[in-house]
Amino acid sequence: MANYLVFAFYFQAFGIFTVLCSVEPNIVYEWETVDLVWPNSSVKEEYIQSKKFIPENNAINGIKMYKDNIYLTIPKLKDGVPFSLVKIQNDTSKNPLLIPYPNWDIQLEGDCSKMRLIQSMEIDPYTGYMWIIDTSFVPGPGINIADQCLSKIIIWDLENDVEIHRHTFPSSVTGPGMFYLNDIVLDFNSNKTARWAYISDTLGHRLIVYDRELDISYAFSHPSMKPVQEYASITIGNVTNAYSSLGINGIAMSSDLKNVYYCPLAGVGLYRIRTALLRKNSSNTDFGREVIHVGNKMVQSDGIYYGKKHNLYYSTLGPRSVYQWSMTPISDNVKPGRQTEIAKDDRIEWIDSFAFDESGYLCKGMALPKLFRKTQVRFSAKDDLNLLKEVLAENPYKDKTKWEVVAQNVKENVDKVFNVTSRRVRERTQLLLQQFQKENYEALKRSGTEEEYTEKQQLLQEIQSLAEEEDKEQKEKAQQKDKDEHSAKLIRKRAMEALTPVKISNGTLYSFSVMYLG
C-alpha cells in the first residue's frame, strides 16, 4: 500500500484540509468561513445578530480522525466562536457544515463544567476514547487566574457518545501566571491501555503530565522549554511577527513509547526525555539530568510527529515545507540521521500538527491560524457585498486590468486590515458565481442576514450578465476571426490554383494570374 502524508495547512484566505501524496497536494476540504448545522434558521439569525457567531473569527485548528469521522477544534480565541469542538458533516461538499460535538449544551456559555477553549485532542485508537484538553479561558496579561475556570482534561467515548472521566488541573500545575494547553500525546501500559497524557504548555513553558490511573497531574519545567529570543521573529510571506513568549509547543511520542520529543516554537532545538521518568512524579532536577538535545531543526516549526519507522516530521515556518528527520540510530552518543525536505508548497503558511501512518491506514493533522499569528484574510457577508459592488462598477470582465482596481477599492472600503490581491478578488468572485450558477444557495447563505443574502443574489445576477455579455462578445470575435482565416485560406487556394502551370499540346507552358475582387 502506498504511503501517504496527510496534513492540513493554512494558506492565504483559506483554512484547508489537504491530503498530500508524495509532493502533489490534493484538496479534500476547504473553507473560507465555516458554518454550522443549526437547529433552525431563527437560531442562526439570533447568533449572527447578537455576534455570538462571527464566521470570519472561527479559525479551524486541530484535527483528528476516528473511523469515518473527522473532528476539528476551533479555539475560542476571539469573539463570535460559539463552539470549540466540532465534527465534519458527512457529505460530498468541499466545504461541509460543522456539527458541534459532542452536543450543543456542553459547549454553551455557562459554568466551569462546560467545554470552553479546546486547542487539541488525541484519540486512543484501541478504545475510541478522545482525550480533550480545555484551557478554559483566553489567556492574557492581567487576568486574575482565581476568577477564571480551572483548566481540565475530559475523556469522551466516541463509540457510545458519553463522558468517561474528567480531571481538573490544580492551579499549581497550570499556573500561577500565564499558561496555554497546546498539544497532547498519549502513553500506554503494556496492555495497550492509555494511562498517561503529556501536554505542552506553550505560555507556561512546562510539560504537564496526567496519570489517569492515579488521577493526578504534575508538571516539569526546564530551560529547553523556554523561547529563544534569537528565533522569536518568524517571517511568512512578507509579514514578520514576533513570538517571543511561545515556548514548548510541538510534542511527539516515539513509536516504541520510550521517548517524548518536544521543541519550543521560538527556537530550533529538538529535545527528548524518557517516558520512564515522565511516568514518575520526579523532580525538575532529575528531569534536567535526563533531557537530551537531539539537534537543531533547519528552522522554527510548530507541529511535530514521530512515525513508525523512527522518522520525525516537522513543518517549517517560513520556507513552506515539511521535513523528515531520521531518528535512527537512537543513541546518546550518535547523532540522528539527515533531515530531508519531503514536501514543499508555496501556499503553505502554517502547519500546526500532522501525522503520518507509514502503513498508509490512518493519517491526520491540522493547520492553525492561531491566537499568536497574523489576521487571516477572510470574506464576511459584508465583504462579499463590497466586492460584488466594485466588480459591477469596474467590470473587469471587459478590461482584466480592472481586477487590480477592484482589489484596491475593496481594501480601502473596509475598516480592517484586508490584504487582498487582484487574483484573490477574482477567485472569490468566481467562487460566488459558481455557487450562484449551481443554485448552491446554502453556501451563499452560510453567513450574513437574509437582507444581505438577497442583495448578494441580485448583484450576482447582474455580474453574471456582465460575464455572459463579455463571453458572448469574445465568442463572436473568435467566430469572426475563424471566418476571416477561412476566407484567407480560400484566397490562397484559388491563387495557387491559378498560378499552377498548364501544359498545352505544343509543349509550351503558360501560367495565369488572378486578382480576387470579391
What are the pLDDT digits (tens) for 151-166? Answer: 999 999 999 999 999 9
CA pair distance 360, 22, nearest whole angstrom: 12
Give the global pTM: 0.68
Beta carbons within 8 Å of 275's beta carbon, 6+ residues apart = 187, 196, 253, 257, 258, 259, 260
Is residue 466 exposed (0-12), middle (13-18) or buried (19+ Cβ within 10 Å)? Answer: middle
What are the pLDDT digits (tens) for 448-468? Answer: 677 888 888 899 999 999 888
Q: Which three cell numbers stand for residue 161?
A: 457518545
DSSP-derived 3-state class of residue 277: helix
What are the pLDDT digits (tens) for 161-193? Answer: 999 999 999 989 997 778 899 999 999 998 999
Predicted confidence at residue 120, as pLDDT, reads 92
Q: Which three cell numbers stand for residue 472?
A: 458572448
Identify the weakest region by mean pLDDT among 265-269, 386-390, 477-481: 477-481
Task: Write phi, then psi, for 116 (nearest 5 degrees).
Answer: -120, -55
Predicted confidence at residue 158, as pLDDT, reads 96
Task: Say how many C-beta atoms besides its own lie within 10 A of residue 222's C-beta.
Answer: 18
Q: Which three cell numbers stand for residue 247?
A: 515556548
Predicted confidence at residue 1, as pLDDT, reads 37
What is the dihedral sign for C-alpha 413, 414, 415, 418? negative
Q: Which residue has the higher pLDDT, 270 or 234?
A: 270
- Is-contact 394 402, C-beta < 8 A? yes
pLDDT exceeds 50 at position 358? no
Listing DSSP states for 465-518 in one string gives: HHHHHHHHHHHHHHHHHHHHHHHHHHHHHHHHHHHS-EE-TTS-EE--------
CA distances to 171, 402, 453, 458, 468 from 394, rounded to whole Å, are: 58, 6, 22, 17, 16
Q: pLDDT confidence of 267, banded at 50, 70, 90? A: very high
CA pair distance 330, 87, nearest whole angstrom: 38
Q: Is 1.10.760.10 the CATH number for 5-367?
A: no
| Residue ranges per structural domain of the chain | 5-367, 381-468
**Angle 262-264-265 from CA coordinates, rounded to 5°:** 125
Question: The cell 498539544 sits on which residue?
Answer: 183
pLDDT exceeds 80 at position 123? yes
CA pair distance 437, 444, nearest whole angstrom: 11
Question: The cell 502533489 sits on which residue?
Answer: 24
Q: Which residue has the higher pLDDT, 458 or 319?
A: 458
Q: pLDDT confidence of 488, banded at 50, 70, 90? A: low
Most confident of 30-39, 341-350, 376-385: 30-39
DSSP-derived 3-state class of residue 430: helix
CA pair distance 342, 464, nearest whole angstrom: 43
Q: What is the mean pLDDT of the chain?
A: 79
Identify the weakest region by mean pLDDT among 37-51, 245-259, 380-394, 478-492: 478-492
Predicted confidence at residue 514, as pLDDT, reads 34
